[in-house]
Structure 1
Amino acid sequence: MRKHYYFLLLGLLFFFSGAAMAQSLRGRVTDAQTGEALPGVTIAVANTTTGTTTDTRGDYTLPLTNGPHQVQFSFIGYNTQIREITINNNEVTLNIALASGTQTLTDVVIVGSRSTQIRSNVETVAPIDVISVRELQASGQIEPTQMMNMVAPSFNSARQSLADGTDHIDPATLRGLGPDQVLVLLNGKRRHNQALINVNGTVGRGSVGTDLNTIPVAGIERIEVLREGASSQYGSDAIAGVVNVVMKKDTGTTANLHVGQFYEGDGANAQLGVYHGIKVGSKGSIGLAADVRFREGTNRAGRYTGPVYQNWNVSQGANESTADWLARRQNLYSQDQALITQNNFNLENNILVGNSDVNNFGGMLNGNLKISPKTEVYFTGVLNYRQGQAAGFYRYPYQTTQNIPEIYPNGYLPEIHSTLWDRSGLVGIGGEWGKGWRWDLSNVIGGNSFRFDIENSLNASQFALKEAAPTEFYAGTVKFNQNTSDFGVSKDFGQQIGVQSFNVAGGVSYRLDNYQILAGEEASYRNYAPESGRGGGAQVFPGYQPANEVNETRNVFAGYLDLETDLTDKLLLNAAGRYENYSDFGGNVAGKLSARYKFAEFFSLRGTISNGFRAPSIHQRYYSAISTVFVSVPGQGLQPRQQGTFRNDSPVAAAFGIPSLKAEKSTNYSLGITSQLLPNMTLTVDAYQIDIRDRIVLTGQFQRGTSAVGQQVSALLDAAGQTDVQAAIFFTNAVNTRTQGVDVVLSADYAVGAGTLTATLAGNLNQTEVRGDPKVSETLPSDVFGNVLFNRQERGRLEWSQPRSKFTLGGTYRLSKFSSTLRITRFGEVKTFDPNSAQLDEDFSPKTATDLNVSYRLNKWLQVTLGGNNIFDVYPDKLEVTQYPTANNPTSLDNSSFGRFVYSRTATQFGFNGGYYYGSLAFNF
C-alpha cells in the first residue's frame, strides 16, 4: 500500500508542477574573460528560500513572485555579483558575465544559519569552508573522504590497514577530534551513521562515524564544512563541527572518467561518474547520478624474519639456565630455517599492509517540484553497494592452535570479505505563507549494513575433520537504521522592528534509531573442542554469536530556537538553543551565542561561546563480540588473543564496575577575524578551544594472567561464564580532554600575463590533551585497574595519532583552454605510544606531499587532465624500533612485528603508498 501512496504523490506533484505560474528570471552565466558557459553557479534570492544553479550550458531558470528581488550570483574562483530585478507578471532575462576573483573556499553557505540573508563565509559568525565539485575533482582522488583530506585543512582521513572492518571504511575527523564528533548532513538534513563500530587499533577507536564514501561523487555540487560546534543547532555529534554535502539538481549531462596507479605498480584505481539533470514542468528539476569506483589493494609489507615452522621465539624456562635457553632457541631456529628452505616459503609476501581492495557502486536521485508559487516539494535518494577484501595476520605453521596442517601445511592468510549496503531517502515540502513565514516539513529514512564473510580461513577447533573442515564462513551482519522527521518555521522581523534583519527560527524533530547484530553461521563462532586449546571460530574474525545478537531501538525528541539579527550594519548576532531527550538515557540542553562586528570593510571580528553534547551511539551501548586480536606481549611480540567486547549493560561490565554510558558534554570557545585585505585577497583566522567532559572510549584489555590483576580478571570472567575469553574490553566515559587550535585561510587572485592565478594558503593547528586522571571502575581499586582502563597507548591515540598541523598551499592558473593546479600539503608530526614500554614509542616527523595536474579543454564538451599526487614519492618515516628478537638476542625491542611492518599502521599522516599518477576525461553536454 505504501508504494501506491508514493506513486499517487508523484502523480500529484507532476500535475501541480504543470499548473505553476509563469513569473520567472532566466538567463545564462558565462566567464567574462573567455565567454565560456559556467555550470554550477549558485544563484540565491535574499529573504527567501528560493535558489538554483546553472546547468551544464550555463543556463538557469528561477521562479519568482511579483515584486523587487535582490539576486546574488556566486561561483568558486569568481567575484560575486548582486543584481536588483523586478518581476511584474512577466519573465525577465538576465545574462551575467562573472570575472575571476577571490572566491576560493568561499561561497554562499547553507550550513550554520537558518537566516535567508545572503552571506559568504567571510560574513558569517562561524568559520565555514565551501568546496566545489571542481576542487574535489582537481584533488586527483576518487573517494569523497580522500578528496576532502587534500583540500580542507581541518579535515583528516587516512586509510587503515589490518583493522578488520575499518579497512573498508575511512574514519573521518575534524579538528583532530573523533569521527563521531562531527555531524554529517545531506542537503542540510541529518545523515545516518555507519553500522560498523571501530573496535580495532585505529584512529577513532571505539567510535561510530558516518561513511562519506557512500555518496556518489558525480552527484555532489559542493561540500560545506562548518568548523565550529553546532549541537545547539543540529543536535548530537556536532561537537567538532558539521559537514554538509549539497547534491546536484541542475539540468544537463556531465561525465568524468579517472584511471590511475601508484608508482609501485599496484593500487590501480578506476572511476566513472555520470550525471544527468532534466527539467520537470516549468519550474522543477530532477538530477540522476551514477558512480562506479574500482580500487585495487596495495601492499607495503617488509620481509618477515620471525618463526614459521618452529617457534624458536620461546621464553626461558623457570629452571633453565640462560646458556641452555639460548642453545635451545638456536637449535629451533636452525630447524626452522631448514624447513623454510625445504618448503620454499615466501618470506616477502605473507601479509598485506596497505589499502584494502574495494569495488563501489552508487546512485543518486535529487530534485524539486513546485506545486504552487510559494510551495515546493523536494526529494533525495542515495543508494550505495560496496564489496571489499582485506586480510589479517598470517597464520604460520608453528601456530598449531590456529591451524589444521592437513589444509594449510604452510600456513595461510585469512581474508575478510565485506558487503556493504547503504540507502537513504529524503522527502520534504516547504514554502512560505502569509507575510514572510517560511516553513519546512521533511522526513529522512536511511540505513547502513555491513556483512562479514571470511575466506581462506578455518575453525581450528574442527581439526578432527582434517581436510573436510570448512574454509569459508558467514560471520554475521551489523545494521543501523534511522528515521528523522523535522518541522521548522522561521520569519525575518527586521522590517517590522527597524533593523536590517531579525530572523527567528524554531522547530521540533523526532528521530528513531535502530541497531542490529545478526549472528553468523555456527562454525564461524563455535569452539568444538575447548579442551584442545585450539582457537574456536573463524580465524581473523570469529562470527557474531547468538549471545551477541541484538535488535534495539531508541527514540529522540528535540526542539530548538534560533535567532539571528543584523542589529546594525556592523553588528551581527546569533543565539541558539536546543533540547533533546533520549529514551535510553535522558535529556540534554545545548546553547550558543555568536557575534560578528565589522570594524571596516577590510576587517571584522567574530566569536562564539557554546556548549555541546554527543549522545552515546546506540552501537556503543549494545555492541558485543568475541574477536581474535594481536596484542604486544613483552618479550614475545604480537600474540593472538580471544578478546570479548561486552555490552555496557552486561553482567560482565557490572562485575568490572563499568557504569552506564552518559552523554559527552563540551564547552566551545572561538575567536576569529575576517578581512578583505585587498580587492583581490581575503583572510580568515579562527582560534578555538573545545573542552570535552566524560569522553567515551573503548578501554584497554583486561587480560587473564598470573599477576594480581590477571588473577582478578580470570576470576571475574570465569564467574560470568566467559571461560573461552582471554581478555575483556568495555565502552565507558573515561576521560576529559581539551583541544586547542587555529584555522587560517588566505585566498588571493591575480592577473598573470594573459591568464589568472587563484591561490590559497589554508592551515590548521590543533592539540588535544587528556586532562586529569581517567575515571576508573566504581567497584575495583584504581591502582589495580586504572592503567588498564585507559592505558598510555590509548592516551597517545587521542593526543597524537592525527597530525597536529596541516597546511596546504595551492594555486590554479587558467589561460584560455589551459589550466594547471599545483598543491603542496605539509602534514604535521604524529606519534604512537606502546601500552607497556616507553622504549617502543615512536615519533614520525612532518612530511610534505606535492600534487600537480595539467588540463586542456579540447572543445566545449571534453577536457583532458593528466596529473600526479605525491609526485616526489614521499613516504612517512619508517619504524625505528625494529631490532626484532633473534635466536641469540631475544631481548631486542621490535615495533615491526619481525620486519612485517615498515611503516606505522596505527598513526598515519597521509598513508604509505607513495606517488600516484592518473589521467581523466571530463565530458560536459
Structure 2
Amino acid sequence: MFAAATALIAIASSDVALAQSADTAAESDEAAEETGAAPSIVVIGTRRTDRSATDSASPVDVISSAELQQQPAINMLDVIKNVVPSFFVPQNTISDASTFVRAPSLRGLPADNILVMLNGKRFNRSALVQVYTGGDTALSFGSQGADISSIPSIAVSNLQVLRDGATAQYGSDAIGGVLNYGLRDDIGLELQGLYGQNYDNGGDGETYQISGYGGVKLGDRGFISLAAEYSDTNGTSRGVQRPSAVNFATQFPNLADQLPNAPGPVQIWGTSPSHGWKAVLNSEYEFSPQATMYLFGNFAGSKADQSFNYREAVATTATRFDGTNTTTGTLSANSAFRHPIYLTSCPTGNATCPNGAFVKDTNVFNFTTLYPAGFTPRFLGETKQAIGVVGIKGEMDSGFTYDLSGSLARQSLELSMNNSLAPSYGPNTQTSFNFGTLIQREMNLNLDLTYPLEVGLASPLTLSAGAEFRREEYEATEGDPQSYGAGPFAVQNLYVQTAPGVFAFDSTVTMPPAASGYGGTSPTFAGKSNEKSKGVYIGLEGDLTDSFSMGLAGRYENYDNFGSTTVGKINARYELTDSLAIRATAGTGFHAPSPGQNNVQVLTTTFIQGNQVQVGTYPVTSDIAQFYGATTLGPEESTNFGAGFVFDPGNGLTLTVDGYSIKVRDRIGISQTFNVSAQDLIDLPSLAGVGVGGSVQYFTNGFDTLTRGVDVVSTYRTDLAGGRLNLTLAYNYNQSKVTDFDPGVIGATQLIDIKYLAPNHRATFAANWSLGDFAVNLRESYYGSWRDANDYPIRQGNVSTGAIIDGQEFGAKFVTDLDVSYTFMDNYTLTVGANNLFNTYPDKIAPTINNPIYDLTGSISNGSVYPRPGGPFGINGGFWYGRLRIKY
C-alpha cells in the first residue's frame, strides 16, 4: 500500500484531513458551548484526525462560533483582531484602495504570508496588491493576500489558527501560519439583528446588521446550509477642520458653505461609510460509506465611499508649533489652482510662436469655476467575491482515505471617483472617473490521500501524499482616458506678443496628468497575466511511543514564472508527565510572487510640501520599470523554528507557551522612488502618465527579516456563585527586524515600522460567566506602545536636529469590552454591550518639524488629530450595541 500511495503523488493534493475532520470540529464546538469545555479537535497542522489543541505538536488556537459571533464588528478582520493577539490590522482611514481591502499581519508578517482556508481548501487572493505607501499598509506593503472580510461570522463553526510555518503541508504563503474557517453544518434556523453606534461625534458610525443561518437534512445522508448577512455602516469622523479651510471661510465668508462637507471638516479622518452582503453555502451528500460528495462556496459584494485629501483653492498662512518653535507656515493652494489654463493657441504658421504653444493673455480658464472653495475627491470601491469548491471524499475499510476536489474563484475591485478633476484637460475635464476594474481569478485541483501504516508502534503511522495544480490570473481593465492620460494642457509653453505678429517665449507651466487623486489603468497596462504551478507532497506522522510523537513533511512545487522550490518540515511532541509535554517544530517555506505583484500598475497622487505629485507603480516587465533597473521577481524563502510546552493538569486549567523564530529571505517589497526628469520623458515618452516631477517605483526582492516571539495561552474553567466561569489569558510578544536590505528598497522609516508598527506586547484577558439564562462576557485587551515612522518620522524632543531619528511613540493602552445576554422563551437571546467601554483613544499626534500642530485647529495641516492608521485598536472610540438572536 505504501507503493500505491506514493505512486498517486503525481495526481494528488494537499488538504485532506482538513475537510474530513470538519464535522468532528463542528460537533466539538457544539459540545463546547453546552459544557463550557474548550473546542479540542484540530484539523490543521496535521493529517491525523485524532489531535487536540493541547496534544498537537504545533500550536493551534481554536476559536468557537460563539466567540466569533459575540463580536459586534461586521468585518471579519476586526473580529479576529479582537481575539487573536498576534493578528494585527490597521483601521485605514485614508489609504487609497487599501481602505477597501485592508491587509492584516500575523506575527508581524504580511498578508500573503498567511494562508487562508475554507473547510481546509485554499481561499483565493484579493484583487488588490497593496501599493499604498503609509503606516496603514507598512507591514503588508507590496502584498496580495486573501480578503477575509467577505466571510460572515454566522457561517463559521470554528476558526483554527495554526501559529506555525506550514508551507510543506499546504503550499505557498503559509510562512506565518494558517487560518482555517470551518463552516457550519448543523440543522436548524438562526436569525440575528444588530444595531449600534459610536459614543462620539453625535453618535456616528451607525451600524445595522441582519444575518441568518439555515440548515436542513438531505434525508439521512447529507445536509445543505445557507448563511447570509447584510450590513450598512455610516462613516465616522475623528479629525477637525483643516486650518486652510478655516482661513478660507474667514477670508471668503460668502463661499464658506461651498467648502466640501460643510459645515463639517473638508477632509474626513475615520471609517469610510460602507454597505454590503455576504453569503456562504455548505453541503454534503453521502452516496455510499466510501463516497461523500461536498459542495461549498462564499459569495459577497460591498461598496465603500472614502474621503480623499482636500485640495485648497487659495494659499493661506497660519501659526504652527513644531515642538520647539512657533512659526508662520504657508498652506499652499493645490497645483490645479496655482495658475490658470491659457486657452489661446499660437497663430498657425507664426515663426515666433510655434505650433502647440499658447499665448499668455487674458483668455484663461480657472478651476474655481468648478470648485470655488476647493474640492475633496470621493474615492469609491466596489468589491465582488465568489469562490466555489466541489469534491468527493471517502474512507475505505482499510483506513485509506481520499479527497478529490476542484475550486474556482474570482474577486474584483472596481474603482471610481467623484468630485475631482483631470487638471491637464482644462475646461474639458470630467469630474467623475472610472479607473477600471482589478480582477483576481484562481483555479485549484487537489487530490489528497492518507493511509494508516501498522508497524508495531504506539499508534499507526499516518502516511499522506498528494499533489496540486493551481492557476492564477490577474487582470486590470482600462479606465477612462482622462483618468490616466496627459491632456492638452499638461505642458504649456507660453509666449507673449511683443509687436504685431511677433512673440517671445515667456515661461512654461504644467498641470499634473490623470485624475486628481488616483490614476486609471491605461491601455498599455490593461490586460491579463497568469501563472501556473504544480506541487507534490508526502508526509508521515504518528506516535512512536506512548510518550513521543513525531511528524515529517516534504513538498516540491514548480512555477512557470520563476522555477521550482522544495521545502520540508519536522515536528515532535514528548510527554514528560501526564500533565506536562514539550513540543518543537522546524521547517522551511516560501511565498511565490503572484501575477498581481508581477504585473500591477497603479498611479496615485501624493503631496510633498503641498505640491501634488504623481507616483506610478509599474510591472517589472514594463519598459518604465526596466528603464529604472527592474528585474524579474523571485520567491520569498523562509526558515521556521518553534518550541514550547503544554501544561494540562486536568482540573480545568490549561497552559501553553510557544516561542518561535521566522527568518524570511528575499522579501518582496517596492523599490525606492525614481524622480522623472524632463530628459527621462524625452528618452521614454511613456512616462507622460507620470509627468515631469512625478516618480516611479516597482516591485523587487530587496530585504530579509527575522521575526521572534512567544505566545502564551491559558484557560481555566470553574464554578462561581452557582454559575459556570471560563477564563482565558492570551499573550503575544512579537518583534520583526530587517537583517539585510537593499537601501534602494528599504528606507530608514520602514526599518522602524517593520519593528514597531504593531505593538511588540499584546495581551487579552477574557471572562465568561453564565447562570441559567444570563451570561456576562468581559474582555480586557492590552496594547503595548507602538510607532509609526512613515507618517510621523521625527520624535518630539529630537526636532532641533531635523534628522529622522525615530517614529513617534504612541503609548500603551487598555481597552475594555463588556456585554450582557439574557435568553427568554427558550429561543430568543437579547444582548447589550459595548466595545471600548471606557472610550479609549490612542495618543494624539505630537508636534514635530514634519507634522507641526496649527494653532487654529490643534491639528496638523490635514486636520488629523489621531494617527492616521488608527493603531492597533482604531480611532473611533467607544461603540455600544444591541443584538437580538433567534435560534430554533
- TM normalised by structure 1 equals 0.81
> One-letter code of the match for 1:247?
L
Cα 1:664–1:48, aligned 2, differ >3 Å: closer, same or farther?
A: closer
The residue aligned with 1:606 is 583
Residue 731 (structure 1) aligned to one of 696, 699, 704: 699
1:693 aligns with 2:665: yes
1:596 aligns with 2:530: no
- What's the CA shift for 1:216? 2.1
Cα 1:73–1:693, aligned 2, differ >3 Å: closer, same or farther?
A: closer
State the alpha-carbon separation in 2 of the partners of residues 565 and 498 from structure 1. 8
State the alpha-carbon separation in 2 of the partners of residues 895 and 595 from structure 1. 57
The residue aligned with 2:304 is 388
The residue aligned with 2:391 is 428
Residue 287 (structure 1) aligned to one of 207, 217, 225: 225
State the alpha-carbon separation in 1 of the partners of residues 108 and 180 from structure 2. 18
Residue 440 (structure 2) aligned to one of 477, 480, 487: 480
Determine helix, strand or coil for the equivalent of 2:369. coil
- What's the CA shift for 1:538? 2.1
> One-letter code of the match for 1:387?
K
Tell me if structure 2 keeps the 8 A contact 1:690–1:738.
Answer: yes
The residue aligned with 2:99 is 167
Cα 1:50–1:560, aligned 2, differ >3 Å: closer, same or farther?
A: closer
Write out per-residue CA displacement over residues 206-252 of structure 1, whole angstroms, 9 at most, x where no aligned residue. Answer: 11111111112221111110000100001111000000011112111
1:223 aligns with 2:195: no
Tell me if structure 2 keeps the 8 A contact 1:829–1:846.
Answer: yes
State the alpha-carbon separation in 2 of the partners of residues 434 and 341 from structure 1. 85
> One-letter code of the match for 2:821?
S
The residue aligned with 2:170 is 234
The residue aligned with 2:87 is 155
Residue 768 (structure 1) aligned to one of 736, 743, 768: 736
Q: Which moved more, 1:210-219 or 1:397-406?
A: 397-406
Cα 1:652–1:837, aligned 2, differ >3 Å: closer, same or farther?
A: farther
Cα 1:175–1:51, aligned 2, differ >3 Å: closer, same or farther?
A: closer
Structural mapping, 1:847-858, within 5 Å = 847-858=813-824
- What's the CA shift for 1:713? 7.2
1:758 aligns with 2:726: yes
State the alpha-carbon separation in 1 of the partners of residues 529 and 573 from structure 2. 44
Structural mapping, 1:399-410, within 5 Å = 399=333, 401-402=335-336, 404-410=367-373
Structural mapping, 1:443-592, within 5 Å = 443-465=406-428, 469-494=429-454, 496-528=455-487, 529-532=489-492, 533-592=510-569
1:141 aligns with 2:73: yes
Structural mapping, 1:43-192, within 5 Å = 49=20, 52=23, 75=30, 77=32, 99-101=35-37, 103=38, 106-116=39-49, 118-192=50-124
Write out per-residue CA displacement over residues 723-756 of structure 1, whole angstroms, 9 at most, x where no aligned residue. Answer: 6151011111111110000001000011112101
> One-letter code of the match for 1:510?
F
- What's the CA shift for 1:720? 6.1
Greater RCO, 1 or 2 (C-alpha within 8 Å, sep 6+): 2
State the alpha-carbon separation in 2 of the partners of residues 393 and 720 from structure 1. 25
- TM normalised by structure 2 equals 0.85
Cα 1:767–1:896, aligned 2, differ >3 Å: closer, same or farther?
A: farther
- What's the CA shift for 1:519? 0.9
Residue 647 (structure 2) aligned to one of 657, 675, 696: 675
Tell me if structure 1 keeps the 8 A contact 2:513–2:689.
Answer: no
Tell me if structure 1 keeps the 8 A contact 2:29–2:64.
Answer: no
Determine helix, strand or coil for the equivalent of 1:575. strand
- What's the CA shift for 1:553? 1.2
The residue aligned with 1:871 is 837
Tell me if structure 2 keeps the 8 A contact 1:442–1:487.
Answer: yes
Tell me if structure 2 keeps the 8 A contact 1:571–1:595.
Answer: yes
- What's the CA shift for 1:419? 1.2
Cα 1:883–1:793, aligned 2, differ >3 Å: closer, same or farther?
A: closer
Cα 1:864–1:820, aligned 2, differ >3 Å: closer, same or farther?
A: same
Cα 1:308–1:524, aligned 2, differ >3 Å: closer, same or farther?
A: farther
Tell me if structure 1 keeps the 8 A contact 2:415–2:437.
Answer: yes
Cα 1:652–1:895, aligned 2, differ >3 Å: closer, same or farther?
A: farther
1:338 aligns with 2:251: yes
The residue aligned with 1:838 is 804
Residue 193 (structure 1) aligned to one of 118, 122, 125: 125
Structural mapping, 1:768-917, within 5 Å = 768-772=736-740, 774-775=741-742, 786=743, 788-834=744-790, 837-838=803-804, 841-881=807-847, 897-898=860-861, 900-906=863-869, 908-917=871-880
Matched pairs, number: 786
- What's the CA shift for 1:897? 4.0
Tell me if structure 2 keeps the 8 A contact 1:813–1:819.
Answer: yes
Cα 1:498–1:899, aligned 2, differ >3 Å: closer, same or farther?
A: closer
State the alpha-carbon separation in 1 of the partners of residues 181 and 279 from structure 2. 15
Tell me if structure 2 keeps the 8 A contact 1:506–1:562.
Answer: yes
Tell me if structure 1 keeps the 8 A contact 2:229–2:278.
Answer: yes
The residue aligned with 2:211 is 273
Cα 1:139–1:51, aligned 2, differ >3 Å: closer, same or farther?
A: closer
- What's the CA shift for 1:187? 0.5
Q: Please give the root-mean-square deviation of Cα atoms over the aligned residues, in Å.
A: 2.6
State the alpha-carbon separation in 2 of the partners of residues 542 and 569 from structure 1. 63
Write out per-residue CA displacement over residues 846-896 of structure 1, whole angstroms, 9 at most, x where no aligned residue. Answer: 11110000000012110000000000000001000257899xx99x9x996
How much identity, in percent, do the aligned residues show?
Answer: 30
State the alpha-carbon separation in 2 of the partners of residues 499 and 48 from structure 1. 26
Determine helix, strand or coil for the equivalent of 2:751. helix
Structural mapping, 1:644-683, within 5 Å = 644-683=616-655
Cα 1:713–1:852, aligned 2, differ >3 Å: closer, same or farther?
A: farther
Determine helix, strand or coil for the equivalent of 1:52. helix
State the alpha-carbon separation in 1 of the partners of residues 872 and 253 from structure 2. 36
Mark the runs of 5 or more structure 2 residues left unpaired by the alignment.
Answer: 1-16, 315-332, 338-366, 493-509, 794-801
The residue aligned with 2:181 is 245
- What's the CA shift for 1:341? 7.6
Tell me if structure 1 keeps the 8 A contact 2:22–2:183.
Answer: no
Determine helix, strand or coil for the equivalent of 1:477. strand
Determine helix, strand or coil for the equivalent of 2:518. coil
State the alpha-carbon separation in 1 of the partners of residues 336 and 564 from structure 2. 48
Cα 1:863–1:906, aligned 2, differ >3 Å: closer, same or farther?
A: closer
- What's the CA shift for 1:839? 6.0
Cα 1:492–1:110, aligned 2, differ >3 Å: closer, same or farther?
A: same
Cα 1:128–1:712, aligned 2, differ >3 Å: closer, same or farther?
A: farther
> One-letter code of the match for 1:391?
S
Cα 1:108–1:405, aligned 2, differ >3 Å: closer, same or farther?
A: same
- What's the CA shift for 1:463? 2.0
- What's the CA shift for 1:280? 0.5
Write out per-residue CA displacement over residues 307-350 of structure 1, whole angstroms, 9 at most, x where no aligned residue. Answer: 7888xxxxxxxxxxxxxxxxxxxxxxxxx952368646568511
State the alpha-carbon separation in 1 of the partners of residues 281 and 690 from structure 2. 51
Write out per-residue CA displacement over residues 653-677 of structure 1, whole angstroms, 9 at most, x where no aligned residue. Answer: 2232232110000100000100114
State the alpha-carbon separation in 2 of the partners of residues 656 and 866 from structure 1. 57
Write out per-residue CA displacement over residues 253-272 of structure 1, whole angstroms, 9 at most, x where no aligned residue. Answer: 01111110000111111111
Write out per-residue CA displacement over residues 679-725 of structure 1, whole angstroms, 9 at most, x where no aligned residue. Answer: 110000000000010011112322347xxxxx997787669666615
Cα 1:848–1:451, aligned 2, differ >3 Å: closer, same or farther?
A: same
Tell me if structure 2 keeps the 8 A contact 1:879–1:895.
Answer: no
1:923 aligns with 2:886: yes
Tell me if structure 2 keeps the 8 A contact 1:801–1:907.
Answer: no
State the alpha-carbon separation in 1 of the partners of residues 198 and 768 from structure 2. 24
Tell me if structure 2 keeps the 8 A contact 1:500–1:567.
Answer: yes
State the alpha-carbon separation in 2 of the partners of residues 48 and 656 from structure 1. 47
